[in-house]
């Protein structure tokens, strides 16, 4: 079961699951995605995933899906609201959606013999790390937003549920900054309204949909003054989920709950990304430097050694190839 499976990361993960031989049922309420993503997944893999339009907050509806698909062995839980700024304006919606959905799933899994869950966490739990690159042992810092807090609390909910003796296993994947689109350009990121994230804003500016990219600050303590992040190709990220799910099914876990940073291990600044986009696409980007964005941390990139060694997984797609995939996807939308 892939909740949020018609969403950006979920849809790419469904493709990789199917291409690894798994049967998939998508549960999504289409609050931030479209049903035709199911068609595009089928176009890529030749296999139409089962799709149930259900809200994970609807416990009875979710129970009915588990009853309809009694062979579900694992859950990959992407379904959540994820806009940091919106979470500041609507905290209760974020706490209800992101915590309530997970609690419903955890309550139903043992009842239906589901072995394990892969949870979509985020490097946002680290805040601004004291030491870089950041490892899974780094301290969790007070969240900068209700959204970030929902990720921290969700991790604690899973840890506490397993500690209470629940018969399930879990892997928490802390994503860094997922970017790019599937090489077929049949699926990709579909931001609603004005993009908050950098790469969709870059591609929409290049496509002429946005007038100009604002670079939020060049007075940070970084080589070129702009913020540094660990941008990971969404397909590489999707592959990590298949490996993590297999790890649970094959009972290879060292602990009932394992945590992995899912990043490239390389920090890239905003201006470096803009230059890489121009090199990758040949499109000159119209941008200007403006003031810092409230809530932004200065720099973060992963130490992915645990995922590399324990999962045998690496994110090695070159940044320019990833940005070329984002541009190819944008060109199909315009
Ligand atoms: P997305 O919005 O594209 O996908 C989320 C999907 O979940 C959407 O299809 C939406 O319709 C669905 N959904 C939301 N609430 C639901 C509910 N109550 N019931 C059923 N479906 C519901 O987001 P994404 O970028 O694919 O992110 C997926 C997950 O990864 C989220 O949990 C997000 O917090 C996490 N994450 C994302 C990023 C990122 O930069 N994109 C980084 C770290 C973590
Ligand atoms: C990246 C960099 C901006 C837009 C967010 C969430 C995080 C996770 C991933 C869910 C920053 C700069 C951006 C623009 C810019 N989401 N930028 N101009 O903030 O690292 O992480 O998305 O889990 O929780 O916080 O990603 O893409 O918004 O920004 O200069 O128009 O690009 O200042 O330095 P971020 P982002």
Catalytic site residue 220? no
Q: What value does the mean pLDDT of the chain take?
A: 97
CA of 213 to the centre of ligand 2 (A): 13
**pLDDT score at 192:** 84
Ligand nearest to the CA of 32: 1
Ligand 2 pocket, residue 227 CB under 6 Å: yes
**pLDDT score at 191:** 84
The catalytic position among 8, 22, 126, 147 is: 147
Ligand 2 pocket, residue 149 CB under 6 Å: no
CA of 196 to the centre of ligand 2 (A): 7
Ligand nearest to the CA of 212: 2
CA of 166 to the centre of ligand 1 (A): 25
Q: How many whole angstroms separate alpha carbon 32 and alpha carbon 51? A: 15
For CA atoms 4, 94, 179, 281, the dihedral sign is positive
Q: What pTM, to 2 d.p., does this model score?
A: 0.98
CA of 255 to the centre of ligand 2 (A): 32
Segment 299-320, tens digit of pLDDT: 999 999 999 999 999 999 999 9
CA of 198 to the centre of ligand 2 (A): 6
Ligand 1 pocket, residue 31 CB under 6 Å: yes
Ligand 1 pocket, residue 57 CB under 6 Å: yes
Averages of pLDDT over runs of 10 residues in the chain (334 residues) are 98 98 98 97 98 98 98 98 95 98 98 98 96 98 95 98 98 98 97 93 98 98 98 98 98 97 98 98 98 96 98 97 98 89
Ligand nearest to the CA of 237: 1
- Closest atom of ligand 1 to CA, residue 10: 26
- Closest atom of ligand 1 to CA, residue 147: 34
| Among 204, 218, 199, 212, CA closest to 286 | 212
- Closest atom of ligand 1 to CA, residue 33: 9
Segment 88-117, tens digit of pLDDT: 999 999 999 999 999 999 999 999 999 999
């Amino acid at each position: 079961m892939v909740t949020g499976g018609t969403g950006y990361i979920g849809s790419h993960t469904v493709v990789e699951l199917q291409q690894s031989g798994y049967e998939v049922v998508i549960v999504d309420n289409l609050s931030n995605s479209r049903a035709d993503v199911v068609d595009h997944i089928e176009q890529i893999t030749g296999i139409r995933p089962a799709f149930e339009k259900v809200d994970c907050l609807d416990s009875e509806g979710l129970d009915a899906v588990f009853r309809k698909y009694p062979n579900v062995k694992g859950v990959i839980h992407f379904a959540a609201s994820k806009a940091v700024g919106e979470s500041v304006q609507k905290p209760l919606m974020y706490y209800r959606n992101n915590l309530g959905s997970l609690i419903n799933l955890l309550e139903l899994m043992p009842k239906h013999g589901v072995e394990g869950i892969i949870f979509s966490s985020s490097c946002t739990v680290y805040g601004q790390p004291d030491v870089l690159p950041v490892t899974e042992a780094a301290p969790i810092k007070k969240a900068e937003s209700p959204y970030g807090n929902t990720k921290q609390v969700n991790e604690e909910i899973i840890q506490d549920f397993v500690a209470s003796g629940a018969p399930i296993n879990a892997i928490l994947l802390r994503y860094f900054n997922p970017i790019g689109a599937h090489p077929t350009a049949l699926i990709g990121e579909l931001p609603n309204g004005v993009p908050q994230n950098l790469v969709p804003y870059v591609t929409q500016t290049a496509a002429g949909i946005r007038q100009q990219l604002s670079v939020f600050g060049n007075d940070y303590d970084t080589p070129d003054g702009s913020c540094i992040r660990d941008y990971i190709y969404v397909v590489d990220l999707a592959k990590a989920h298949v490996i993590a799910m297999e790890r649970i099914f094959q009972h290879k876990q060292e602990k009932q709950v394992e945590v992995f940073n899912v990043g490239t291990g390389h920090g890239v600044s905003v201006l470096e990304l803009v230059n890489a986009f121009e090199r990758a696409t040949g499109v000159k980007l119209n941008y200007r430097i403006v003031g810092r964005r409230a809530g932004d941390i200065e720099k973060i990139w992963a130490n992915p050694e645990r995922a590399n060694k324990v999962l045998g997984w690496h994110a090695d797609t070159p940044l320019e190839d990833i940005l070329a995939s984002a541009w190819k996807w944008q060109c199909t939308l315009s």
